[in-house]
Chain A
Amino acid sequence: MLVLTRKSGETLLIGNDVEVVVLEVRGEQVKIGIRAPKDVRILRKEVLEAIEEANRSAAIAGNTDALARLVGGLAVSGKAEGK
Chain B
Amino acid sequence: MQVHSSRFGTVEFHPEDVIRFEKGLPGFEKEKRFILIPYEEKGPFFFLRSLDNPELEFFTGDPFAFFPDYEVKLASVDQQELAIDHPEEALALVIFTLADEPKDITVNLKAPLVINRGKGLARQVILDNDHYSTRHRLEAS
A residues near B (Cβ < 8 Å) are 38-41, 43, 47-48, 50-67, 69-74, 76-77, 79-83
Closest approach, in angstroms, between the C-beta of B101 and any C-beta of chain A? 7
B62 at the binding interface (Cβ < 8 Å):
yes
Given known pairs A39-B77, A71-B39, the reply for A59 and B126 (CB within 8 Å) is no
Do B65 and A79 touch (CB < 8 A)? yes
CB contact list, B61-86 vs A, under 8 A: 62, 65-66, 75-77, 80
Closest approach, in angstroms, between the C-beta of A71 and any C-beta of chain B? 7
Do A51 and B100 touch (CB < 8 A)? no
Closest approach, in angstroms, between the C-beta of B93 and any C-beta of chain A? 12
Q: How large is the interface on B (under 10, 10 to 19, 20 to 34, 35 or more residues)?
A: 35 or more
Q: Report the bound CA distance from A79 to B43 in whole Å.
A: 11
The number of residue pairs between A and B whose CB atoms lie closer than 8 Å in the complex comes to 113
Q: Apart from A51-B124, A62-B6, what 11 extra A-B contacts exist at CB < 8 Å?
A: A43-B126, A50-B134, A54-B106, A54-B110, A55-B27, A61-B55, A70-B98, A72-B102, A74-B102, A81-B65, A82-B42
B116 at the binding interface (Cβ < 8 Å):
no
Do A38 and B77 touch (CB < 8 A)? yes
CB contact between A79 and one of B28, B66, B134 (< 8 Å): that residue:
B66
Interface of A is mostly: helix
Which residue of chain B has its CB nearest to the CB of A62? Answer: B6
Do B62 and A82 touch (CB < 8 A)? yes
Q: Report the bound CA distance from A40 to B75 in whole Å.
A: 10
Which residues from chain A contact B102 at a C-beta distance below 8 Å?
A: 69-70, 72-74, 76-77
Do B58 and A70 touch (CB < 8 A)? no
